[in-house]
A and B are shown apart, each in its own frame.
Chain A
Amino acid sequence: GQQVMQIPQYQHVQEGEDFTTYCNSSTTLSNIQWYKQRPGGHPVFLIQLVKSGEVKKQKRLTFQFGEAKKNSSLHITATQTTDVGTYFCAGSSTGFQKLVFGTGTRLLVSP
């Protein structure tokens, strides 16, 4: 079945440093979504990418969708303590409702 892996599993940065998480799917995706889950919380939608090579920005966050639509990345510039949480990519290849979540990257930011 479809598998979505993320690296790294965990990253601890100092506030102000940059952070990147990478997402790789075993199958070609029709779209990819990114979610953030704070400790003790639930996933919250960040963005959706649909087009090959698409790049979207939200303030300090930059999202990319690979040309082959099998990988994606999330880059955070100048992290803040409010960025703490687990970042999940989630892709669908067999129907947009059937999301497969990536393994997640847990981000810890020290002040």
Chain B
Amino acid sequence: DTEVTQTPKHLVMGMTNKKSLKCEQHMGHRAMYWYKQKAKKPPELMFVYSYEKLSINESVPSRFSPECPNSSLLNLHLHALQPEDSALYLCASSQISRNGEQFFGPGTRLTVL
């Protein structure tokens, strides 16, 4: 299984809502990532988890809260988002090695009203 799955595919939320994005992989990868991608822009790294511990936080606002409950799952909890947070949120995973090919999920398209 070389697939990263993400749910939901689409999400519309108000600025006062709390929601969560979910990501799952069964490739045995011990590094997992969250990226944000705006239209016609490259993916921007948000968070990296290595061995289920947060290893990189790219100065992301606290309204985004990542969680890695186990080696296969990655969540992104959302609270009090702004309209400018509307984007495609991509999850990725990779081995912990220098051959760090990242496998991306299909993404969650988030709209904040």
Residues on A facing B (Cβ under 8 Å):
31, 33, 41-45, 48, 50, 88, 92, 95-104, 106
Segment touching A, from B10-18, B60-68, B102-110: B102-110
Task: State the majority secondary structure of interface residues on A.
Answer: loop
Task: State whether A97 touches B104 (Cβ < 8 A).
Answer: no
In the docked arrangement, what's the CA distance between A48 and B101, Å?
7
In the complex the two chains form, what is the Cα distance from A48 to B97 in whole Å?
Answer: 13
Q: Are A43 and B90 in contact (CB under 8 A)?
A: yes
- The reply to whether A42 and B105 form a contact with Cβ atoms under 8 Å apart is yes
Number of interface residues of B (CB under 8 A): 25
If A42-B106, A43-B90 touch, does A96 touch B43 (CB 8 Å cutoff)? no
Chain B: which residue is nearest A45 at the CB level? B101
Judge whether B104 and A44 touch: CB under 8 Å: yes
Contact with A along B20-47 (1 / 0, CB 8 A): 0000000000010100000011111100
| Residue pair A97, B98 in contact (C-beta under 8 Å) | no
| Shortest Cβ distance from B43 into A: residue | A101
The answer to whether B74 has its CB under 8 Å from any CB of chain A is no
Given contacts A42-B104, A44-B104, 12 further A-B contacts (CB under 8 A): A33-B102, A42-B107, A45-B101, A50-B98, A88-B42, A88-B43, A92-B100, A95-B56, A96-B98, A97-B31, A98-B48, A99-B45
